[in-house]
C-alpha cells in the first residue's frame, strides 16, 4: 500500500481512535499496574498535532497532546527513472497530562492505551501498510504546575510510491 505523508497521518489518527474508543482497551477500560480499574468521569480531551500547546498546560481533567512527526526517508528506483518507492519513517508522540488529583497511575494508564493502539501493529483498515513499533514511555512525574506528565513515543514506517 502506498501513502503520502498526509494520508499516513490520517490513518495513524484512525488507528489510535479505534483503540481509544474500544470499551475495554480504550479510555473507559483504564487499569492501574495491579489491574484495578481507574474510572474517569469524562473522556480525556485530545489535541492532535496541535503546535500551540503550552509547555505546562492548565488542565483540570486528563488531556493528551498527540503529534505525528516524519524524520527520515529512503528513496529507491523501482522501474525506470520516474517510478520510485520511498520508505518514510517517523514517530507518534503522546504527551499525557493529568491533574495532581488523578496521580501518575492515571497518566501511565492513558500512556498504555497509546502502546495498545500502536505497538507491533499495522494501521487499521485502508491504513494497513503503516507499521508501528518500539513504544517508549517516559514518566516525567510531577510538574511545577501541579500536574503529572508521561510522554510516549511509537515509531512508524510506510512506503510512498510515485510515478505509477
> Which pLDDT tens digit goes with each residue over 11-51?
898 889 999 999 999 999 999 888 999 989 899 999 887 66
Range of the domain at 52: 5-162
CA gap 40, 93 in Å, rounded:
23
CATH number at residue 56: 3.30.2000.20
When divided into structural domains, the chain yields a total of: 1
Question: pTM for the full model?
Answer: 0.84
With 0-12 / 13-18 / 19 or more C-beta atoms within 10 angstroms meaning exposed / middle / buried, residue 112 is: buried
Amino acid at each position: 500500500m502506498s501513502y503520502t505523508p498526509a494520508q499516513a497521518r490520517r490513518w495513524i489518527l484512525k488507528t489510535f481512535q479505534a483503540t481509544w474508543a474500544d470499551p475495554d482497551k480504550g479510555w473507559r477500560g483504564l487499569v492501574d499496574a495491579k489491574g484495578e480499574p481507574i474510572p474517569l468521569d469524562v473522556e480525556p480531551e485530545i489535541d492532535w498535532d496541535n503546535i500551540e500547546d503550552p509547555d505546562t498546560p492548565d488542565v483540570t481533567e486528563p488531556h493528551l497532546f498527540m503529534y505525528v512527526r516524519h524524520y527520515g526517508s529512503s528513496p529507491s528506483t523501482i522501474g525506470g527513472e520516474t517510478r520510485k518507492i520511498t520508505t518514510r519513517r517517523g514517530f507518534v508522540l503522546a504527551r499525557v497530562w493529568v491533574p495532581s488529583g488523578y496521580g501518575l497511575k492515571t497518566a501511565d494508564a492513558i500512556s498504555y492505551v497509546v502502546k495498545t493502539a500502536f505497538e507491533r501493529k499495522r494501521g487499521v483498515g485502508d491504513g494497513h501498510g503503516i507499521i508501528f513499533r518500539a513504544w517508549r514511555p517516559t514518566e516525567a512525574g510531577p510538574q511545577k504546575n501541579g500536574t503529572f506528565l508521561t510522554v510516549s513515543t511509537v515509531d512508524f514506517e510506510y512506503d510512498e510510491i510515485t510515478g505509477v
